[in-house]
Amino acid sequence: MSVSRDLLGLVARDLTVTGPAGPIVTRMDLAVRPGETVALVGESGSGKSMTAQAMTGLLPRGVTATGIVRLNDTEVDLANGPDVLAGLRGKRISLLLQNPFTSLSPVHRCGDQIVAALPATLRRSSDEIQRRLQEVDLPARVARQYPFELSGGMRQRVALAASLASDPEVLIGDEPTTALDVTTQREVLDLLARIQRERSMALLLITHDLGVARERADRILVMYAGRLMETGTGVNVFVSPQHPYTAGLRNSDPPLDRRVVRLPAVAGSVPRPWDIKAGCAFAARCDRADDHCFAVEPELGGVGVGVVGVGGEPIAQVACWKPLATDEAHHVEPAAPVVDISHPAPLVTISHLVKQFSRDAPPALASVSMVIGVGEAVGIVGESGSGKTTLARILIGLEYATSGTIDWSIAGVPARRAQIVFQDPTSALNPAMAIGAALIEALRAGGRDSSEMPALLDLVGLPAEYARRRPSSLSGGEQQRVAIARALAPNPKLLICDEPVSSLDVSVQAQILNLLNELVGRLGLALLFITHDLAVVRQMARRVYVMSNGEVVESGDTEAILTAPQHAYTRTLFASVPGRRAERAGTPGEIDE
């Protein structure tokens, strides 16, 4: 990484974004030098996307920004309105969006869209189009194709080529790989890194994925509720975080390399930036906060003598009245390596399950066999299209298999055998029904009495007065707790969870995972945990099945497989997890590395 010392790259000072409800981003400063990759990390509502939109003049109607944006030698005052940035867009600073499925016009050809920003003579040149396709490793035929004919990863490459068309000096990637499969993610991020090197661009990477930030960024900025909490290098931020939020975020992320007894979770949910009237934005969820923290908002200040950047400004900074000392970052206790010699009796045996949706397409499931034992926690890992969701739906009775058998060792109504928790809790709850009523209905369906409803709420950690509320007034994490409670109401022997935490904020994910582990242990449930995330499955399941393209490619003890994966696909999956390499270099608790 060559950092040119004469050009400053992208610098933003005092960036404030205000929406109709109040401030969304408050006094942000950031700098990205040419050739440097800076990651802007934050959960939903942190204001990271708004920051990017403010710097490119793309804020939605009703939202305004103030502050100074400087691009190498050009300085712009945002108070003059977003139009001042019109001349810079595309030519000097460009934005790559998250969703490759909607970033491109569906009725124009890819080649034409890539060169659309170029002057007319170049637009007609097929050589120019080919040159740009080659830069993003796309075959020549893509020029004449329409976006819907390409996969997500290919579409994102087209979008990348399009955003680079006018050769900008700065590229902002707003969650550019979030919508992609893990394996495709790695390819696209590698491509981004290569292009950045070749063009000596400044790259601002916006992400909620800590692993991505760790692995790809030279510097990391942590945002929370529209404010910068901490900045520093990967080592600063993840090995010795200063801010309690950063530490909490880092600890909430399930580690890939070992199983832990309990994920240290951050209590509460992410607030809306404009709801915080005074003091530190994180104070309400911080276990170190005192009266001063609630009263006065801390400023971003440098810590650590000697850690200085190029222009003399300190690289590592934190905005906190009571920052953590280097050794104070919570250690996460690894679970004792479990030698599981128990072979529980099978609860359900799946034999040679096949599911064919239509005659032309390949089968969604091609002869899958599995066993789930009584009270056992089993995981299914796979990317989209692996068939994992289809399997769950057949198991729960929402679909019928084309052939194969499912044998249950217990008799009884299907509703009391297995229940399911879906990925999106908002659409999994009836918006017109109060929570208490929904739970009572579920209890009655399971043959239990409605008087058990308060106990059910308590079981998932929700206060009794929530019974009267409607789902729309609850946060995502709380909604998922309700969904879990409802699933447990009929006392099922097996709880199926299909990506139950993928839609939730990182700091809330850990809460739900802990809750599930605790419930499984307390109630003696069997658990079928479906996910694409290897780190999560490690925390949740004793045995795991790895699926790809409708088949089980590898299965066995989770620890064994994740320590030494055998099958090529599992190895690719493992290697693609972002931050895996960096993780080994800086995990808390690993003293002798």
Partner 1 sequence: MSRYFGRGTVLRFTLVRLAATALLLVAVSFVVFALLHLTPGDPARNLLGPRVSSPEILASIRAQYHLDDPFLSQYFHWLGGVLHGDFGTSIRSNTAVTTLLADRVVLTAQLAAYAFVLTAVVAIPVGIFAASRAGSAVDRTINVGAIIGVGAPSYAVGLLLLYVFGVNLDVFPVYGSGDGFLDRIWHLSLPAITLALGIGALVFKLTRTAVLGELDQHYVSFAVSRGLSPQQVRSMVLRNAMIPVVTSLGLVFAFLFGGTILVEITFALQGIGALLASSVTFKDIPVVQAITLLTAAVIALTALAVDLFYFAADPRVRKRAAA
Partner 2 sequence: MKRPPMTPVICAIPLAVVAICVVGARWIVPDATEQDILFGVAPAGSPGHRFGTDQLGRDILQLAIAGARSAVVGPIFIALGSMLLGLLLGSLAGYLGGWVDLLLTKYADLLLALPTTLIALVVAGLIDGGYWVTVLVLVVLFSPTDIRLIRGSVLAQSSRPYIESAKVLGLGKSRIMFRHILPNVMPIALATMLLNVAFALVAMSSLSFLGLGVGPGVPDWGRQLSDGRDLLGRNSAAVIVPGVMIIATAAAINLLGDWIQERLEQRARQR
Q: Which of 106, 306, 337, 431 binds partner 1 (CB under 8 A)?
A: 106
Strand partners, 203: 37, 171
CA atoms of 319 and 417, how far apart (whole Å): 51
Q: Where are the beta strands (DSSP E) in 54-195?
A: 64-71, 74-77, 93-96, 170-174
The identity of residue 572, as a single letter, is T
Binds 422, which of partner 2, partner 1, none (CB < 5 to 8 A, cut-off by type)?
A: partner 2
Strand partners, 533: none
Examine residue 473 and tell whether it contacts partner 2 (CB under 8 A).
Answer: no
CA atoms of 238 and 229, how far apart (whole Å): 13
Binds 545, which of partner 1, partner 2, none (CB < 5 to 8 A, cut-off by type)?
A: none
CA atoms of 548 and 388, how far apart (whole Å): 9
Q: Which range of residues in 321-329, 409-417, 517-525, 576-584 is near partner 2 by CB under 8 A?
A: 409-417
Contact assessment for residue 331 and residue 589, using Cβ atoms and an 8 Å cutoff: yes
- Taking 3-state DSSP, the helix, strand and coil percentages for the chain, each rounded to the nearest 5, stand at 35, 20, 45
Cβ neighbours, 10 Å, residue 207: 25
Q: Which of 264, 302, 334, 446 binds partner 2 (CB under 8 A)?
A: 446
Examine residue 233 and tell whether it contacts partner 1 (CB under 8 A).
Answer: no
Shortest Cβ 40–partner 1 spacing (Å) = 17
Nearest 5°: the CA angle 378, 340, 338 is: 95
Binds 564, which of partner 2, partner 1, none (CB < 5 to 8 A, cut-off by type)?
A: none
Examine residue 396 and tell whether it contacts partner 2 (CB under 8 A).
Answer: yes
Q: Which range of residues in 163-171, 294-302, 412-420, 555-563 is near partner 2 by CB under 8 A?
A: 412-420
Secondary structure tally for the chain: helices H, strands E: 20, 21
Contact assessment for residue 250 and residue 238, using Cβ atoms and an 8 Å cutoff: yes
Examine residue 160 and tell whether it contacts partner 1 (CB under 8 A).
Answer: no
Only one residue has tokens 């971003």, namely 300
Task: Output 135 or 424, the one with its CB closest to partner 2.
Answer: 424
Q: What is the DSSP letter of 224?
A: E
Q: Which of 151, 430, 450, 563 binds partner 2 (CB under 8 A)?
A: 430
Sheet holding 22-32, edge to edge: 22-32, 10-19, 64-71, 74-77
Q: Which of 310, 398, 410, 560 binds partner 2 (CB under 8 A)?
A: 398
Q: Which of 21, 79, 116, 122 binds partner 1 (CB under 8 A)?
A: 116
Binds 398, which of partner 2, partner 1, none (CB < 5 to 8 A, cut-off by type)?
A: partner 2
Find the helix packing angle between 152-163 and 182-199, rounded to 10°: 20
CA atoms of 247 and 329, how far apart (whole Å): 6
Examine residue 442 and tell whether it contacts partner 2 (CB under 8 A).
Answer: yes
Q: Which of 433, 564, 568, 575 binds partner 2 (CB under 8 A)?
A: 433
Examine residue 20 and tell whether it contacts partner 1 (CB under 8 A).
Answer: no
Q: Which of 81, 301, 397, 556 binds partner 2 (CB under 8 A)?
A: 397
Q: What is the DSSP letter of 236?
A: I
Task: Output 228 or 512, the one with its CB closest to partner 2.
Answer: 512
Binds 414, which of partner 2, partner 1, none (CB < 5 to 8 A, cut-off by type)?
A: partner 2
Q: Which range of residues in 23-31, 156-164, 327-335, 501-509 is near partner 1 by CB under 8 A?
A: 156-164
Q: Which of 420, 488, 495, 540 binds partner 2 (CB under 8 A)?
A: 420
CA atoms of 451 and 467, how far apart (whole Å): 12
3-state secondary structure of 299: coil
Q: Which two tokens stand for residue 246?
A: 């950063």
Examine residue 97 and tell whether it contacts partner 1 (CB under 8 A).
Answer: yes
Q: Which of 90, 211, 226, 387 binds partner 1 (CB under 8 A)?
A: 90
Binds 441, which of partner 2, partner 1, none (CB < 5 to 8 A, cut-off by type)?
A: partner 2
Q: Which of 5, 108, 141, 194 binds partner 1 (CB under 8 A)?
A: 108
Q: Where along the sequence are the contacts to partner 2 (CB under 8 A)?
A: 396-398, 413-415, 418-420, 422, 424, 426-433, 441-442, 445-446, 472, 483, 486-487, 489-490
